[in-house]
A and B are shown apart, each in its own frame.
Chain A
Amino acid sequence: MFPEEVLEHVFSFLNSHTDRNTASLVCKSWYEMERWCRKRVFIGNCYAVNPRVVIRRFPEVKSVELKGKPHFADFNLVPEGWGGYVYPWIVEIARAYPWLEEIRLKRMVVTDECLEIVAKSFRNFRVLVLESCEGFSTDGLAAVAANCRNLRVLDLRECEVEELSGHWLSHFPDSFTSLESLNMACLGSEVSFSALERLVARSPNLKTLRLNRTVPIEKLSTLLQRAPQLVDFGTGAYSAEIRQDVYSRLADAFSRSKNLKSLSGFWDVTPAYLPAIYSVCSQLTSLNLSYAATRSPDLTKIVSQCYNLQRLVVLDYIEDTGLNTVSMSCKDLRELVVFPSDPFVGEVDVLLTEQGLVSVSQGCSKLQSVLYFCHQMSNSALISISKNRPNLTCFRLCIIEPRVPDYVTHEPLDVGFGSIVENCKQLTRLSMSGLLTDRVFEYIGTHAKNLDMLSIAFAGDSDLGLHHVLSGCDSLRKLEIRDCPFGDKALLANASKLEKMRSLWMSSCLVSFGACKLLGQKMPGLNVEVIDERENVNSLPEYVPVEKVYIYRTVSGQRFDTPDFVRIMGKDKDDLYNLS
């Protein structure tokens, strides 16, 4: 038996949550030892556990990370008011962890009151990351700015913020010099530029600065000059009438930014200003031009100089020709994201096809992660991609029109995606689209043994499809399905699998009220939430399919903050007595 100090020292090398969880299961003394020295807690579903239970088990936590709404909330499939309120957590952790340093929240409802509590409760608070959160205003930000003396990171990623004023930034006191990272890209209101400039000037450790759209291009050089140590820079609106003096100052400032590795922003681009960044292209490991409505030639000129690029996020304006250049120039590329410039328009005037992706898969040997929107795909392209890049870990393909077959053979894309899962043995995340039958799910169940997250839409023929996935994918933790003909049989037959997963989302499928109720009754470790906004929902017969169902494992029982369109099935006393 090791003495405690030795164990504690050994555990300090365990950084991943899974490793820590595994270590805690070895024996009682390891469990005890581990829980006292765990500093970071990650809760993937805020409703899976009660905050008090977490606090009781881990008394010395310095960092809390929580996720709320399911992923499909990003696409408006989760109605407003569903839940994901962080307030109960904030109240408990404010009481229990006065020395908490970090809070990271994703898809949660955060109010100004929450931010005020955070601002006033933690004396050594350092990191606030809010991703895809909503419910707060710039007043809440002002409270954080005014009170968190040791703040290092304020990172607002794609949040919905009520913009009362841009004055919040001016609440950082003059004595505040610890800022390392500021991401305000999602805010719409204008901040005082002089306050911003002074903040940047007195923050010697500032490494990340992502501005919002209102900071004009003329002011960028001033900020870059104030922070030559910047590693990650996000511009504001990158447009103005072309003026030689503004351009020269900007190009000069970029050329002096020797530490810059990541660029983003670039809203409303005036193409004539793009060459100002050429001097830093070869330094860049990450480039996000996905807000720049700029055409292929300009984009291609940029990427052709980004020899060290590891992550590229662009719009489909890059076209196949641009991606061909990427495949030849960006030999270190690990991640490619191509978003659609105009996803709702029928006619396609952008020359981006499956060929672009195939070229990148050929030329970029380190490519691991793909998110690609396009209008056509073929099985042969998918097979090529899988053979070129067996090291893929994340493959998300969105063919914009639902149920579109292989454009060459007019067959379903089963074989293509089958090839992906068969050849890419380390695949942990997959999103599929196009015409797909139950056959693709058979391939997935057979081969995708490391798959952690699967997203399915407008696919499959019958319950067999769902059954293949639930019974075959050993590592599956998150499954989200929309508009597929999957129903009760597969779900009920694989009920025990659901307790081994974080969550299952099914909307516009064929799962009935009765099946949801039965599942809720039989599986006490699951919350089966039926989300249904129909006015007559209470009078619908049990065999009718629900609009949406969200099933997740939990040790804290049902939640009590549900709106009227959410019903947690099978937990009522009446339901329990009516077990069939």
Chain B
Amino acid sequence: MATEGLGLEMTELRLGLPGGGGGEKKEKKRVLLDILGGDDGGGGKNRNTGVAVGWPPVCSYRKRAIIKMYVKVSMDGAPFLRKIDINGFKGYSDFIRALENLFGLGDECEYTPIYEDKDGDWMLVGDVPWEMFTETCKRLRMKKRV
């Protein structure tokens, strides 16, 4: 598992919305990026995946309405996986709430949501704009905080 030994525990991740406490989030992002090596070069392009934001030009209203993007969600310690349509949500807050409901999680925040992107890398949920996330997420995992 790619995330072992990446030192995620030192970033104090919670099952909460990204962006709470601006400076703090930027610190975490920089740490993660340092570990992974390099930055993404900006320009709205997700590095190495060839996926560009907003391409093809299908408006978000339509994307949500017609496209079902069911991805598997595993939770550490759970005996079976679930599936969730990541395209059925308007943003991270709706989505996190749905994930919590899926596994009956309360406010304990023992789990960190991470996802596997099109490159096969495991990423922290919440760093990239929502639309980019829906386009690059292949599967999810609720990783238990150590």
Please give the distance in Å from A65's CB to the nearest CB on chain B. 20
Q: Are B26 and A535 in contact (CB under 8 A)?
A: yes
Within 8 A of A (CB), among B12-54: 26, 42-45, 52-54
Please give the distance in Å from A383's CB to the nearest CB on chain B. 24
Contacts of B131 in A (CB 8 A): 76
Question: In the complex, A302 Cα to B138 Cα: how many Å?
Answer: 36
Instruction: Answer whether residue A267 sits at the interface, using C-beta atoms and an 8 A cutoff.
Output: yes
Chain B residue with the shortest CB-CB distance to A533: B42
Instruction: Answer whether residue A64 sits at the interface, using C-beta atoms and an 8 A cutoff.
Output: no
Please give the distance in Å from B51's CB to the nearest CB on chain A. 8
17 A-B residue pairs with Cβ-Cβ distance under 8 Å, sorted by A, are A74-B57, A74-B59, A75-B59, A76-B131, A132-B59, A132-B61, A158-B61, A340-B56, A341-B67, A398-B56, A431-B57, A457-B55, A457-B57, A458-B52, A482-B54, A508-B43, A547-B44
Please give the distance in Å from B38's CB to the nearest CB on chain A. 15
Instruction: Answer whether residue A54 sits at the interface, using C-beta atoms and an 8 A cutoff.
Output: no
Instruction: Answer whether residue B146 sits at the interface, using C-beta atoms and an 8 A cutoff.
Output: no
Instruction: Answer whether residue A278 sits at the interface, using C-beta atoms and an 8 A cutoff.
Output: no
**Number of A-B pairs whose CB atoms are under 8 Å?**
75
Q: Is the interface of A mostly helix, strand, loop or mixed?
A: loop
Contacts of B42 in A (CB 8 A): 534, 547
Question: In the complex, A422 Cα to B61 Cα: how many Å?
Answer: 35
Q: Are A186 and B61 in contact (CB under 8 A)?
A: yes
Q: Are A75 and B135 in contact (CB under 8 A)?
A: no
Please give the distance in Å from A135's CB to the nearest CB on chain B. 13
Contacts of B63 in A (CB 8 A): 343
Interface mask (B115-146 → A, CB under 8 Å = 1, otherwise 0): 00000000000000101000100000000000
Instruction: Answer whether residue B60 sits at the interface, using C-beta atoms and an 8 A cutoff.
Output: yes
A77-B65 contact, Cβ under 8 Å, with A160-B90, A508-B45, A534-B42 = no
Instruction: Answer whether residue A264 sits at the interface, using C-beta atoms and an 8 A cutoff.
Output: no
Set A77, A267, A291: member contacting B54, Cβ < 8 A? A77
A77-B44 contact, Cβ under 8 Å, with A158-B61, A341-B66 = yes
A402-B52 contact, Cβ under 8 Å, with A74-B57, A507-B44, A547-B43 = yes
Contacts of A74 in B (CB 8 A): 57, 59-60
Question: In the complex, A507 Cα to B55 Cα: how many Å?
Answer: 13
Interface mask (A318-343 → B, CB under 8 Å = 1, otherwise 0): 00000000000000000000011111
Q: Are A72 and B54 in contact (CB under 8 A)?
A: yes
Contacts of A507 in B (CB 8 A): 44
Q: Are B135 and A344 in contact (CB under 8 A)?
A: yes
Contacts of A186 in B (CB 8 A): 61
Q: Are B54 and A339 in contact (CB under 8 A)?
A: no
Q: Are A483 and B58 in contact (CB under 8 A)?
A: no
Question: In the complex, A534 Cα to B63 Cα: how many Å?
Answer: 27
Instruction: Answer whether residue A359 sits at the interface, using C-beta atoms and an 8 A cutoff.
Output: no
A398-B61 contact, Cβ under 8 Å, with A76-B131, A483-B52, A508-B44 = no
Q: Are A315 and B66 in contact (CB under 8 A)?
A: yes
A76-B129 contact, Cβ under 8 Å, with A342-B67, A343-B67, A547-B42 = yes
Q: Are B65 and A291 in contact (CB under 8 A)?
A: yes
Instruction: Answer whether residue A400 sits at the interface, using C-beta atoms and an 8 A cutoff.
Output: yes
Q: Are B60 and A76 in contact (CB under 8 A)?
A: yes
